[in-house]
Amino acid sequence: MLNFIFNQASKIKARLENYQRVRRWERLRSRGMRIGKGVNLPISTWIDTAHCFLISIGDNCGFGDECVILAHDAMPNEYIDASKIGLVTIHESCHFGARTVILPGVEIGPRSIVGSNSVVINSIPPETVAAGNPAKVICTLEEYLDKHRELMKTVPLFPYKEYDNKYLNSRKRWEMTERLKDNIGYMTGGYTAMIENGECLFRTK
């Protein structure tokens, strides 16, 4: 009985969190921010609300937890009575690791990836991978993907429909832990599940 109550409470909590996300997206859009479809924009992503009309995010982008998107920089204000301000344009299918900071006046080309804890102070070309502080291009998207494709030939693979948290049992948790002791691995099929079945991350409409 107690498990049933906890399960119901968890479902209600998840619905409330999703409602909170939708309300936030609507509020930002009403203030002029462009947010495309299929965007993973967590509550923890800090948006420059006062200047959000200067920010544009294309379709199918994804943000890790605690990213920051700034359209203004007020640090010199006391000294020169002026704040830097600029557009932030993020094109479609860009993905940002946790705690990435995006500063005003940058454009991030479509199909680009930016690594965790990076600080984006300059524009990033399309189909590239960048990382660091300041973020710099380290390879093309295709080079990055080729590296992962090669790794996937030799390391453990875990089908999403069997090994995602909602499908796991104690035996599969143990199995994953054992198989990952000496290697990284890959969860496969998660994007397909999201597109075809609406599973995985809660994204913008």
Q: What is the pLDDT of residues 9-34, one digit of tens each?
A: 777 877 888 889 999 999 999 999 99
> Radius of gyration of the chain from Cα atoms?
20
| pLDDT > 90 in the chain, percent | 79
3-state secondary structure of 110: coil
Q: Is the pLDDT of residue 205 over 90?
A: no
Q: Which residue has the higher pLDDT, 34 or 194?
A: 34
Taking the whole predicted model, whether its pTM rises above 0.75 is answered as yes
Q: Is the pLDDT of residue 113 over 90?
A: yes
Q: Which residue has the higher pLDDT, 190 or 195?
A: 190
Pick the CATH number of 31-139 from 3.40.50.1260, 2.160.10.10, 1.10.510.10, 3.30.1360.70: 2.160.10.10
Q: Is the pLDDT of residue 87 over 80?
A: yes
Domain ranges of the chain: 31-139, 152-197
3-state secondary structure of 180: coil
Q: What is the pLDDT of residue 6?
A: 67
Q: What is the pLDDT of residue 4?
A: 64
Q: Residue 167: which of 141, 139, 190 has the closest Cα? A: 190
Contact 89, 102 (CB under 8 A): no
Computed from CA positions of residues 139, 143, 145, 148, in that sequence, does the dihedral angle turn out positive or negative?
A: negative
pLDDT in tens, 177-191: 999 999 999 999 988
Q: Is the pLDDT of residue 201 over 90?
A: no
Q: Is the pLDDT of residue 83 over 90?
A: yes
Mean pLDDT of 149-163: 95
**Core vs surface per residue 34-54: b (16+ CB within 10 A) or e:** ebbebbbbbeebebbeebbeb
Q: What is the pLDDT of residue 162?
A: 93
Q: What whole-number distance in Å separates Cα of residue 24 and Cα of residue 55?
A: 15
Mean pLDDT of 149-178: 94
List, in order, residues 6 or more apart from 48 with CB less than 8 Å away: 54, 55, 69, 70, 71, 72
Contact 85, 72 (CB under 8 A): yes
Across the chain, mean pLDDT equals: 93
